[in-house]
């Protein structure tokens, strides 16, 4: 038997159920109404242009979706951001609508844009303008599962797949974040941009790449900053100032091949040319020679074209007791080794060399001078001119001078054979073995 209190609750439940039903009907009608409206394509274009500086040329169809939140969907769209600073192809745009103004048929009001799939091309030559355009976004812009192609002088410089890009709103911190895959490795790029300062970080953890660049513009309009680069346990850092050229200071290189401070200057106009000074604290000559051999003396065509572009003067001196100093000049595909001195005072030698051909046919002309203290207070000067053939570790003596007197051809060839058999031993890397080269010269007397 029901109590009077339970009977009194029944009308209240009915009222609550009716309220919920009416609310659901209202929400469904409210959210579904835009689907029945005839959206003006021009209003969509205008809203995208005004809020995100997007110029979309052709819209064939706009779909309305209720879930997961009310939005307009434009499939297979091609559009540009700014003055073609970013060109997007074959992407889907989802315009996330503002619920409070969803019934407005004259103007599209939205909270953010989602751009998915397709590809986007960004020119690094206009990267400053790209940042300016993005910083003016009135609405949040997010790219998902997009292939980002960075171009340098209309050529592909870097491609990031399955990228997610988050661009800031107007008034938010001007920071562009890109996450994606580079050669199937996770990559993260973060770029902060303020009026006088830019900060770029790039990380590819699996490849042990971690890079940061800070650029500051001073009151005179000059750029100065700091670069830190770590790749495969190799580290490079330097400060720089850009006026007409780029001046490098307080630089340092650390790797398994070389530890050295570095400073100098780099020019890009009218042609690329660098003048760099290295003060060595560690220098693995054997490993560096094998790297040079692979890079300069193989039939790698890509290396040859790069050699011709790396014009400059590179000066070396050492901090360690055993001297290693001189300069390398690379100009128009010709490499000169000038005024090199190797070894300690009593066991040093000097040389000059010229690499005038590359690949398997490479030849290296050289001139080597050695002063020998063969008896107390008695010295002999040995000077050898000749050339090396790296492809078969061949050494040819053209002239052998003893105290300025040229030896006979027969004697020169005799010393050449001793040098090859006992010193080179089928590997030119032995040229950098100071003990062996000193033993060769000392045994001549």
Residue-level pLDDT at 261:
94
Domain boundary among 172, 189, 204: 172
Do 291 and 429 sit in the same domain of this protein? Answer: yes
Query: Regarding beta strands 273-283 and 86-97, do their DSSP bridges make them parallel or antiparallel, or are they unpaired?
Result: unpaired
Q: Is residue 218 part of a domain?
A: no
Among residues 114, 108, 93, 96, the alpha carbon closest in space to that of 37 is found at 108
pLDDT bracket for residue 253 (50, 70, 90): very high
CA-nearest of 210, 119, 207, 200 to 162 is 119
Reply yes or no on whether the pLDDT at 98 is more than 50: yes
Element (H, E) at 26: helix 4-36
Q: Give yes or no: residues 277 and 426 share one domain.
A: yes
Q: Looking at the structure, do residues 268 and 121 belong to the same domain, yes or no?
A: no
Q: How far apart are CA 112 and CA 143, in angstroms?
A: 11
Q: Best-predicted range by mean pLDDT among 70-74, 181-185, 369-373?
A: 181-185
Q: Are residues 167 and 63 in the same domain?
A: yes
259 pLDDT tier (thresholds 50, 70, 90):
very high
Using CA atoms, how far apart are residues 31 and 42, in angstroms rounded to an integer? 22
Q: Which of 178-187, 194-203, 352-361, 372-381 has the highest mean pLDDT?
A: 178-187
289/372 Cα distance (integer angstroms): 26
Phi, psi of 286 (to 5 degrees): -65, -50
Please indicate, yes or no, if residue 213 is contained in any of the structural domains.
no
Residue with tokens 């690499």: 355
Q: How many domains does the chain have?
A: 2
Residue 428's pLDDT band (cuts 50, 70, 90): confident
Confirm whether 373 is domain-assigned: yes
My answer on whether 307 and 164 are in the same domain is no
Q: Which residue has the higher pLDDT, 280 or 106?
A: 280
pLDDT digits (tens, 9 = 90+) for 26-76: 455 444 555 445 567 788 888 888 988 899 877 777 888 877 888 888 888
What is the spatial distance between Cα 3 and Cα 194, in angstroms, rounded to a whole number?
73
261 and 168 within one domain = no
Q: What is the mean pLDDT of residues 378-393?
A: 87
Does residue 425 share a domain with residue 298? yes
Between these two residues, 335 and 343, which has the higher pLDDT value? 335
What percent of the chain shows pLDDT beyond 90?
A: 29
Q: Which structural domain range is residue 403 located in?
A: 256-445
Helix axes 301-309, 285-296, angle to 10 degrees: 110
pLDDT at 435 over 90: no
What is the tens place of the pLDDT at every residue in 150-166?
Answer: 998 888 988 999 999 88
Decide if 16 is inside a domain: no
63 with 161, same domain: the answer is yes
Residue 135, helix vs strand vs coil = helix
| Same domain, yes or no: 289 and 386 | yes
Instruction: Say whether both 143 and 262 belong to one domain.
Output: no
Q: List the Cα angle 61/62/68 in 5-degree steps.
A: 145
Q: What is the pTM of this model?
A: 0.71
For residues 391 and 405, give the distance between their C-alpha atoms in angstroms, rounded to a whole number.
32
Of 112, 139, 172, the domain-final residue? 172
- Residue 270 shares a structural domain with residue 167: no
Helix ranges, 245-325 (H): 285-296, 301-309
Could you tell me which residue, 445 or 2, shows the higher pLDDT? 445
**What is the reported pLDDT for 128?**
76
Which of 109, 139, 172 is the endpoint of a domain? Answer: 172
Give the model's pLDDT for residue 13.
56
Domain for residue 295, yes or no? yes
- In which band, very low, low, confident or very high, does the pLDDT at 422 lie, cut at 50, 70 and 90? confident
187 within a domain of the structure (yes/no): no
pLDDT, the chain, mean: 82
Residue 294 vs residue 152, higher pLDDT: 152
| 433 within some domain | yes
What is the distance between the alpha carbons of residues 225 and 219, in angstroms, rounded to a whole number? 14
Place 100 in a pLDDT band, splitting at 50, 70 and 90: low
Terminus-to-terminus CA distance in the chain, angstroms?
130
Average pLDDT over residues 194-216: 88
The answer to whether residue 420 is domain-embedded is yes
Nearest to 281 by CA among 326, 248, 316: 316
Domain identity same for 314 and 445:
yes
Task: With beta carbons less than 8 A apart as the criterion, state whether 165 and 142 touch.
Answer: yes
């Amino acid at each position: 038997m029901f109590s009077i209190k339970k009977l009194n609750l029944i009308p209240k439940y009915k009222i609550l159920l009716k309220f919920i039903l009416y609310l659901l009907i209202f929400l469904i009608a409210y959210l579904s109404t835009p689907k029945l409206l005839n959206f003006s394509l021009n209003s969509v274009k205008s809203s995208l242009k005004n809020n995100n500086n997007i110029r979309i040329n052709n819209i064939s169809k706009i779909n309305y979706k209720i879930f997961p939140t009310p939005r307009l969907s434009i499939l297979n769209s091609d559009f540009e951001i700014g003055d073609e600073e970013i060109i997007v192809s074959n992407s889907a745009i989802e315009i996330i609508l503002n619920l409070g103004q969803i019934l407005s048929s004259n103007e599209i009001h939205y909270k953010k844009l989602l751009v998915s799939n397709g590809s986007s091309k960004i020119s690094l030559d206009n990267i400053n303008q790209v940042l300016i355009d993005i910083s003016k976004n009135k609405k949040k812009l997010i790219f998902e599962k997009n292939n980002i192609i960075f171009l340098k002088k209309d050529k592909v410089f870097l491609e990031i797949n399955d990228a997610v890009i988050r661009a800031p709103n107007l008034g938010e911190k001007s920071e562009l974040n890109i996450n994606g895959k580079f050669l199937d490795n996770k990559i993260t790029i973060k770029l902060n941009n303020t009026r006088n300062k830019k900060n770029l970080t790039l990380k590819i953890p699996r490849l042990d790449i971690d890079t940061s660049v800070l650029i500051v513009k001073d009151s005179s309009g000059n750029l100065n900053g700091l670069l830190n680069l770590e790749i495969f346990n190799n580290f490079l850092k330097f400060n720089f100032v850009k006026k007409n050229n780029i001046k490098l200071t307080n630089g340092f290189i650390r790797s398994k091949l070389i530890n050295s401070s570095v400073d100098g200057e780099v020019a890009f106009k009218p042609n690329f040319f660098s003048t760099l000074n290295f003060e060595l604290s560690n220098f693995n000559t054997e490993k560096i020679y094998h790297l040079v051999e692979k890079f300069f003396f193989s039939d790698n065509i890509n290396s040859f074209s790069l050699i011709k572009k790396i014009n400059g003067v590179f000066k070396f001196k050492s901090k360690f007791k055993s001297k290693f100093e001189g300069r390398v000049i690379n100009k128009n595909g010709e490499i000169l080794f000038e005024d090199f001195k190797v070894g300690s005072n009593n066991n040093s030698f000097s040389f000059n060399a010229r690499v005038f051909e590359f690949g398997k046919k490479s030849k290296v002309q050289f001139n080597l001078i050695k002063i020998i203290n063969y008896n107390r207070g008695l010295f002999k000067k040995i000077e050898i001119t000749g050339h090396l053939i790296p492809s078969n570790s061949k050494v040819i003596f053209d002239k052998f001078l003893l105290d300025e007197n040229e030896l006979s051809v027969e004697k020169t060839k005799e010393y050449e054979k001793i040098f090859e058999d006992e010193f080179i031993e089928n590997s030119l890397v032995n040229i950098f073995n100071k003990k062996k080269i000193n033993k060769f010269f000392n045994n001549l007397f």
